[in-house]
A and B are shown apart, each in its own frame.
Chain A
Amino acid sequence: MVGSIHIGLAALGAAIGVGLIGMGASSAVGRNPGAATPILVQAILAIAFAEAIVFYALYLAPK
């Protein structure tokens, strides 16, 4: 029970974070299509850091 809430909250936070990053990246590409590759790199890095939270929660959650 505790573990499920723990993972659920982490997943919620990571999903919001990934969504915000995706929103920012797509609007940035919309404003400046020429900078698509550097924006993609920044976005993928930021998404990777955000989604890593879920994995930490998965492994650290009390079973």
Chain B
Amino acid sequence: MLSRYFCLPLLALVLFGTSGFAVGANAAESHGAVAAEQHEGVPLKPAILFQVGKFAVTNSMLVTWIVAAGIIVAAQAATRNIQPIPKGAQNFWEWLVESLYNFLEAIIGSDLVRKTFWFFATIFIFILFVNWFGLIPGVGTIGWGHDVNGHFEVTRPILRGGNADLNMTTAMAMVFFALWLVWAVQANGVGGVLMHIFGPKGESKGIMRIALIGIFFIVGLLEVVSILFRPISLSFRLYGNVYAGETILESMSTMVPALSWLIPIPFYFMELLVGLVQALVFMLLTAVFTLLIAQHEPGHEGAHH
């Protein structure tokens, strides 16, 4: 029953993501020649497949669209005819959504999870399936290319792991940052948020408290820097992990040509794990950031201070 809720935000996320792509792809256009020269390893940027006006469609965009459409169709099909005793696909989605809900509820509390669950579940499920989709053989190896030193080299693959593109991860981190600000203001008000960041903490009284105000103001300035750095570190962490994984798989399969079918196999299992852990980390970090700012006055379960 809950799984219907994340179709809409997923769509919105993909739209946000693609608007991020459009900007990034335009910026990447001028560097297209650089990517074509690079034969060794996976290029840092996605390749442009075709252009609609000024809007460039890249191969990693295509992957995010395919995965989002797949999730939406699968969730809709599974919940079209809801049974009181779930089985099959409906059971799978209910298990996934309910386990996520209970897991998040234990971390950020029942009030906050009711309000923010749609975002965290969407981001987890989407990142997980995009990461795993990128591991399917053929992604990154089928496409247009040309002959290099007597053997064929794919320079413009038709598909590329969606999170192996900084535009997508940055778009997700920015969407979270905007939502974080909205949730923070909704929970504590503008003054409450400023007080949370700059205000003195702890149980001091009298002259000590006045002396501490200045110190906590400077601490607040540091806090602002750390908050502004969060979207950067969120997006680079996910991109770096997925991109590094693709590079490892590529270099392992080209290292010993005779054993190219055997050597990457252990790394595929590692990448399955990394894909899950990174989806979990992105969700957990965003959830904890939200908890830290949306927490009410100190004293209310002050576990995170």
Q: Evaluate contact between B288 and A44: CB separation under 8 angstroms.
A: no
Contacting residues of chain A (1-55) with chain B, CB-CB under 8 angstroms:
37-38, 41, 44-45, 47-48, 51-52, 54-55
Interface 9-residue window, one of B64-72, B115-123, B232-240, B255-263: B232-240
Q: Is the CB of A45 within 8 A of B106?
A: no
Within 8 Å CB of A47, what residues of B?
Answer: 281
Query: Does B107 lie at the interface of the complex (its beta carbon under 8 Å from any beta carbon of A)?
Result: yes
Bound together, the chains give a CA A45 to CA B282 distance in angstroms of 9
Q: Which residues of A contact B240 (CB under 8 A)?
A: 54-55, 58-59
Given known A44-B280, A44-B284, A45-B285, contact A52–B106 (CB-CB < 8 A): no
Q: Is the CB of A44 within 8 A of B281?
A: yes
Question: What is the chain B residue whose CB lies nearest that of A59?
Answer: B236
B277 at the interface (CB under 8 A from A): yes
- CB closest chain-A residue, reference B288: A45
Which residues from chain B contact A56 at a C-beta distance below 8 Å? Answer: 233, 236
From B102, which residue of chain A is reached at the shortest CB distance?
Answer: A37
Question: With the chains together, A55 CA to B106 CA distance in Å?
Answer: 30
In contact, A52 and B107 (Cβ under 8 angstroms):
no
A52 and B233 contact, CB distance less than 8 A: yes
Contacts of A37 in B (CB 8 A): 103, 106
Return chain B residues, CB-CB under 8 Å to A52: 233, 236-237
The closest CB in chain B to the CB of A47 belongs to: B281
Also in contact, A41 and B107, with CB within 8 A (given A48-B281, A48-B285): yes
Bound Cα distance A7, B107 (Å): 34
> In chain B, residues 272-300, which have Cβ atoms closer than 8 Å to a Cβ of chain A?
277, 280-281, 284-285, 288
Q: List 21 interface pairs A-B (beta carbons < 8 Å), by A numbering.
A: A37-B106, A38-B106, A41-B107, A41-B288, A44-B277, A44-B280, A44-B281, A45-B281, A45-B285, A45-B288, A48-B281, A48-B284, A51-B237, A52-B233, A52-B236, A52-B237, A54-B240, A55-B236, A56-B236, A58-B240, A59-B240
- The 3 A-B residue pairs whose C-beta atoms are closest, nearest first, are A55-B240, A48-B281, A55-B236
Residues of B within 8 A of A (CB): 103, 106-107, 233, 236-237, 240, 277, 280-281, 284-285, 288
Apart from the given pairs A45-B284, A52-B233, 18 other A-B contacts in the complex at a CB distance below 8 Å: A37-B106, A38-B106, A44-B277, A44-B280, A45-B281, A45-B288, A47-B281, A48-B281, A48-B284, A51-B237, A52-B236, A52-B237, A54-B240, A55-B236, A55-B237, A55-B240, A56-B233, A59-B236
